Amino acid sequence: MDSLHLDIDEPHWHNNDMWRTDELDMDDVEDISHSVSSLQLEPLVYRSIEIDLDDVEDVVNQEHMNDDEPPALQDFRVLDLSVTDIADAGLSFLAAFSHIQSLNLFSTKITDNGLEHVAKMVGLIELDMCGTEVSDVGLSWLKPLDKLEVLKVCGNKRITDDGASWLMEALSTLTSLELRATSVTSECAQLVADTLAFRASLAMR
């Protein structure tokens, strides 16, 4: 799957694993929009490392973009916010990106409260919440994600057998659940693995 890499200091396009923006402002967003349109390339991955949330909100509210301009950020299917300082309140913009299929929140400051915003991303197929502060209680916010297939919660010590069992009951679409370094017991982890294997066998029939 082709994607783009953008070097803000010396702009040029080439194939890479993702579209990386170390420091992105609205002028850059507009330049990217027009460049993608003129090259007729589809931006597939959007990585935010040090992005100002005010800039993201501008795009969501279309203060700098109108219907005649390229959709740019609205075309992305992968949003990677991993290893950033983003916290619960910073996720409020996610409701406008319900088309996103993969969200990476690895090693962020997200807690149970932030999952209220994640729950609005009803198109999610893959969600990575490893290394966050999410607990069993917050997992209930994920109920609306009826397309979710892959969920990663490794390293969250407040996720126990109760949370893992609830996930398997509430999210029948799950085909992969990563529970390493949580408080889930080996017995429960094995039950999860057996259930996922059974679902996989049904899907092959």
Residue type, 145: L
Q: How many domains are there within the chain?
A: 2
Look at residue 46 in the predicted model and tell me its pLDDT. 46
Identify whether residues 22 and 106 lie together within a single domain. Answer: no
- Same domain for 181 and 84, yes or no, is yes
- The neighbouring-strand residues paired with 20 are 47
From 59, 76, 93, the end of a domain falls on 76
Asked if 92 and 53 sit in the same domain, the reply is no
Do 55 and 81 share a domain, yes or no?
no
Tokens of 145: 């994600």
Domain final position from 76, 110, 131: 76
Q: Provide the residue range defining the domain that includes 94.
A: 77-205
Tens digits of per-residue pLDDT, 76-99?
889 999 999 999 999 998 888 888
Are 60 and 81 in a shared domain? no
Same domain, 68 and 116: no
CATH number at 180 reads 3.80.10.10
Same domain (yes/no): 32, 120: no
Check whether residue 118 and residue 133 sit in a common domain: yes
Q: What share of the chain is helix, strand, coil (3-state, %, to 5)?
A: 40, 15, 45
Same domain? 104 vs 134: yes
Entry pTM: 0.71
109 and 193 co-located in one domain: yes
Higher pLDDT, 107 or 52: 107
Same structural domain for residues 176 and 101? yes
pLDDT in tens, 11-55: 333 333 343 333 444 444 444 444 433 333 333 444 433 445 555
Q: Tell me: the pLDDT tens digits for 128-187?
A: 999 999 999 999 999 999 999 999 999 999 999 999 999 999 999 999 999 999 999 999
Residue 1 pLDDT level (bands cut at 50, 70, 90)? very low
User: Same domain for 72 and 121?
Assistant: no
Residue 100 φ then ψ, to 5°: -60, 135
Long-range contacts of 114-117 (CB under 8 A, 24+ apart): 114/87, 114/88, 114/138, 115/139, 115/141, 115/142, 116/141, 117/88, 117/91, 117/92
Which of 57, 76, 95 is the endpoint of a domain? 76
